[in-house]
Structure 1
Amino acid sequence: MDSNRTEKNGENCEGSIYVNNPHLESMKEDILYHFNLGTASHDLPAMFGDVKFVCVGGSPWRMKSFIEYIAGELGLANPEAEYPNICEGTDRYAMYKIGPVLSVSHGMGIPSISIMLHELIKLLYHSRCSNVTVVRIGTSGGLGLQPGTVVVTKQSVDATFLPRLEQVVLGKSVVRSTELDAELAEELLQCGKELAEFETVIANTMCTLDFYEGQARLDGAFCSYTEEDKQKYLASAYAAGVRNIEMESSVFAAMCKLSNLRAAVVCVTLLDRQKGDQLTSPHEVLHGYQQRPQILVGHYIKKKLNLFKKK
């Protein structure tokens, strides 16, 4: 196992997946435990070597819905297809594939998506994939936006509005950049304009460690601040360019950047947090909102594959 094969003259080969772990080289087998896959038990290059687009999202049902949707958009749909869960045998994550598109669930919050990304990055690496684009699609709380607005993340910022991910490794603080691919974000914004079905904007996304107090909600089991405190904090976030709030974008951006993966975050807003904390829209309205990121990303994938065919 050559963990340096992505390097050439001391630099990453363009488009290759990069892992920076010398210990992988001495391993006889790499078991991707939470995917129920492994380098000895599965022919990963045969299974995943053609992957060019990976879409990740919180829930298994949403990612199965996305693979069914994209199969239809790419003309690969089969009325009798079951789209089996590749990770069957584990209850941690779900994975589906059609053509060059991989769809993977990541659960909720930084710890859950971090575990998934470690194994996804190694999966793509072991499969010898190249020029892969990874997009997180999901839902979020909005700031100053109409519910249903799709936000393409410009920068993922922490709860103090700084574009960074701070982790503790061996008892020491490690700070990593949360920079995302600006060109990819602009391409996705252009796709939104072409669709013209819903509002799409580029803005900063705040990634928090908690759904309740960490997002200044007033409806958790504990709350030590006032409505006025909440509004002041959200106004500060808005002034920092934040237009939506979620719980995964910082580690997603950081790990994709370290791995030489083009990455974007596309989330729909379900409500304006400056106007309330709880969802009051009917289920069918919320379901329609949740389909918007997959419609946008589906349009992008179709567009890119058509461009590939012309070359």
Structure 2
Amino acid sequence: MKCDCDRITVNKGGIKEHYDNCRSTWNELHPGKPFPKNADGTIKLLNNHLQELDVDVLYHLGLDTHNYDLPAMFGDVKFVCMGGTKHRMREFAHYMTELLDLPNKGDKIVNLTKHSQRYAMYKVGPVLSISHGIGIPSMTTLLQEVIKLMAYAKAKDPIFFRVGTCGGLNIPAGSVVVSAFGVNGNLEKTYDVPVLGKTRRLPAILDRRLYEEVHSLSSDADQFGTYIGGTMAADDFYRGQARLDGPFCDYSESDKMSFLKSLTNLGVRNIEMEATAFSAFTREAGIRASIVCVTFLDRLQGDQVTHSKTVLTEWQKRPMIVVGRYIAKYCENLKA
């Protein structure tokens, strides 16, 4: 089958030739899995039960397929950017209006899901900026409805990003990590989800070409380092991340350090609470996706975030800069 990869960003030496969802290589990377895109690049939802619905209610987004013209509202979306908090994603939306010099620059940005009282979603030009809360259950609830939203809107080849904060491993606080894969609390590169009483193990792998492209746009002028590495997604902030400062702790500091060093030996650079599920679900949907997070501390040096709010607020902009640079480059080359 003919390659359908976008050739928009500069293809520097060493970057993988195809995206993971390229038609020409899909069967090699996903043996036995049906191709989840239509001929025009829109998402093909591989759930026949959805065809039996007269109306699909995207409950947590406060949208549905009957009362809203989703193609008119969201059909031009190219980039879906997700992050934990409403404030951060509103700030990202404002940042993108300035970076892309959009017509609504400086205007008040409207929360399109305000009446759902669950998440916050802002649209600026081709960018959808959405909060997903903390942890895998909250994030995947949003992610799955957004995947359906993009399918119903007939958005073509959307690219998903998660921008966030994390704890680093053996890299300076304030560094940015572009994730290559996720690992769970058992140090496995899978997202394990119980379905009908049985555990399904979904590969937690991110699109190599995309994360290499994102990383290739890092600049020597940046006041922070940008690294590619694995990301551990914990189901708990304290014991699940080998912290010593939670209300419960039945292991020693030596146990903690041994575990964290096991992570670094696997190529893991950071710890957060969403990477495995985000990787697995976007991969299953055939969506190009990347995770870009800033580290608030080096977990090999301690457990608590001690930098000032001013410093942390400034650091939170760093993933926005990295992702924004990719989006701006993509849009710039598309016009060329």
Question: Which of the numbers 144, 164, 183 marks the counterpart of 1:118?
Answer: 144
What residue is the counterpart of 1:163 in the other structure?
Answer: 189
Percent identity, aligned pairs only, is 45
Query: What is the CA deviation profile of residues 53-73 of structure 1, one whole-angstrom value per residue up to 9, with x for unaligned ones?
Result: 110000011000000000000
What residue is the counterpart of 2:11 in the other structure?
Answer: none
What residue is the counterpart of 1:277 in the other structure?
Answer: 303
CA contact (8 A) 1:167 1:174 kept: yes
Question: Which of the numbers 156, 160, 163 marks the counterpart of 1:134?
Answer: 160
CA contact (8 A) 1:216 1:230 kept: yes
> Are positions 1:180 and 2:200 aligned together?
no
CA contact (8 A) 1:157 1:205 kept: yes
What residue is the counterpart of 1:66 in the other structure?
Answer: 92
> Are positions 1:198 and 2:224 aligned together?
yes
RMSD of aligned alpha carbons:
1.7
Distance apart, 1:158 and its partner CA: 1.1
SS across alignment from 1:193: coil
What residue is the counterpart of 1:52 in the other structure?
Answer: 78
Residues 228-267 of structure 1: pairs in structure 2 closer than 5 A:
228-267=254-293
What residue is the counterpart of 2:120 in the other structure?
Answer: 94
CA distance in structure 2 between the aligned counterparts of 1:70 and 1:11, rounded to whole angstroms: 27
CA distance in structure 2 between the aligned counterparts of 1:107 and 1:91, rounded to whole angstroms: 12
CA distance in structure 1 between the aligned counterparts of 2:62 and 2:273, rounded to whole angstroms: 25
Distance apart, 1:16 and its partner CA: 2.7
Using a 3 Å threshold, how does the CA distance of structure 1 residues 77 and 274 change in structure 2: closer, same or farther? farther
What residue is the counterpart of 1:4 in the other structure?
Answer: none
Query: What is the CA deviation profile of residues 188-229 of structure 1, one whole-angstrom value per residue up to 9, with x for unaligned ones?
Result: 111113653320010010111111110001111111111111
Using a 3 Å threshold, how does the CA distance of structure 1 residues 12 and 78 change in structure 2: closer, same or farther? closer
> How many residues in Structure 1 have an aligned counterpart in Structure 2?
304
Letter in 1 for 2:316: Q
CA contact (8 A) 1:166 1:176 kept: yes
Using a 3 Å threshold, how does the CA distance of structure 1 residues 97 and 276 change in structure 2: closer, same or farther? same
Question: TM-score, normalised on structure 1?
Answer: 0.94
Using a 3 Å threshold, how does the CA distance of structure 1 residues 166 and 39 change in structure 2: closer, same or farther? same
Question: TM-score, normalised on structure 2?
Answer: 0.87
CA contact (8 A) 1:18 1:258 kept: no
CA distance in structure 1 between the aligned counterparts of 2:106 and 2:289, rounded to whole angstroms: 33
Select between 194-203 and 244-253 the one with higher mean Cα deviation.
Answer: 194-203
CA distance in structure 1 between the aligned counterparts of 2:220 and 2:325, rounded to whole angstroms: 9
CA distance in structure 2 between the aligned counterparts of 1:196 and 1:101, rounded to whole angstroms: 24
Query: What is the CA deviation profile of residues 170-189 of structure 1, one whole-angstrom value per residue up to 9, with x for unaligned ones?
Result: 00111111111101101111
Stretches of structure 1 lacking an aligned partner (at least 5 in a row): 1-6
What residue is the counterpart of 2:4 in the other structure?
Answer: none
Using a 3 Å threshold, how does the CA distance of structure 1 residues 51 and 145 change in structure 2: closer, same or farther? same
SS across alignment from 1:225: coil
Letter in 1 for 2:246: G
Stretches of structure 2 lacking an aligned partner (at least 5 in a row): 1-32
Using a 3 Å threshold, how does the CA distance of structure 1 residues 208 and 13 change in structure 2: closer, same or farther? farther
Distance apart, 1:277 and its partner CA: 0.6
CA contact (8 A) 1:16 1:260 kept: no
What residue is the counterpart of 2:247 in the other structure?
Answer: 221
Distance apart, 1:21 and its partner CA: 1.1
